[in-house]
Amino acid sequence: MRNNDQLDTTVVVGIGYTGQRLLARLPATRIGLGRTNIRGERVAQLDLDHPASWPAPLAEPGQSALSIVYTVPPSTVAEPDPRIQRLLGLLPRVPQRFVYISTTGVYGDRQGARVAETAKPAPATDRARRRSHAEDLLRKWSAEQDVDLVVLRVPGIYGPGRLGLERIRAGHPILREQDCNPGNRIHVDDLVSCCLAALDRGTAPGIYNVADGDERSSSWFTLEVARQAGLAAPPVISRAAAEQQFSAARLSFLNESRRLDLGKMHGVLRPGIKYTDAADGIAASL
């Protein structure tokens, strides 16, 4: 992280797949908050569906600067997200910087067009609409509280333990290449690098698309994982067959098509993406 001596205390809210890796790369002045009781130093329990109080390790008002990285998905119960609203009500002091992990799904279907951060959100699924509403809530709150808000719009996250090996072994079919849309993804370690860059006070607040820039399809990705893992390639089916066999959630991912403009990520955020070739990221994950 650049200028990390400027950051006094960083709180990672949500220490799941990405949050745990981020916590491990932060300076000593950090703490992770999660729903489950995960063992470890500087880790405390906070269930945003049933919060009691801000955890004791950070309960004192103090004078140190506070930065928040929020990785928790929105609640499906209500909008705008009650989890974020509860967190904001529990904070012992106003943070200087708030980093929110959102999704590129807020753009909706762009029929393969390249989309920049200036594009108006057009979410087409409930999960994407919840993220868009959460962005709006945080944008209003950060303006009122004079907080630097950084929104990272993230596509599919892959890495160790998240390559879909179980589905490949089970022989689940994939879409044939000629029916596929462009793929957008990022290796978890590169996402962590984006979070670290977003925490830097020298990074301008705002919205950033983050991805590896490798736009090969999800089917290519699955076949490459199978090849590198020495597994039999899964069966390939047409889009018409997929519409009969795939779940509605899986079809919603496959039906949306967009390419991400990453100019702002490379020119302003500058996280130093390591795995620009997803084949290299797969190899490292295996």
Residues 199/10, Cβ–Cβ less than 8 Å? yes
The mean-pLDDT minimum among 21-30, 52-61, 90-99, 166-175 falls in: 52-61
Q: What is the pLDDT of residue 104?
A: 98
Question: DSSP characters for 166-190?
Answer: HHHHHT--EE-GGGPPPP-EEEHHH
Q: What is the pLDDT of residue 29?
A: 83
Q: What is the pLDDT of residue 43?
A: 87
Which two tokens mark 222?
A: 């699955």
CA distance 102 to 105: 9
C-alpha gyration radius of the chain: 19
CATH code assigned to 4-163+186-213+259-275: 3.40.50.720
Q: What is the pLDDT of residue 27?
A: 87
Residue matched to tokens 């959630």: 249
For residues 263, 269, 270, 273, the Cα torsion angle rounded to the nearest 10 degrees is -80
Residue type present at position 220: W
Q: What is the pLDDT of residue 272?
A: 96
68-106 confidence digits (pLDDT tens) = 999 999 998 877 889 999 999 988 889 999 999 999 999
pLDDT at 3 over 50: no
Other Cβ atoms within 10 Å of 161 Cβ, number: 9
Q: Averaged over 18-27, what is the pLDDT?
A: 94
pLDDT at 51 over 80: no
Question: What are residue 263's phi and psi, to 5 degrees?
Answer: -60, -40
Q: What is the pLDDT of residue 62?
A: 56
Q: What is the pTM of this model?
A: 0.93
pLDDT at 148 over 60: yes
pLDDT at 54 over 70: yes
Among the listed residues 152, 219, 232, the one whose alpha carbon sits nearest the alpha carbon of residue 188: 152
Q: Residue 12: beta bridge partners?
A: 32, 69
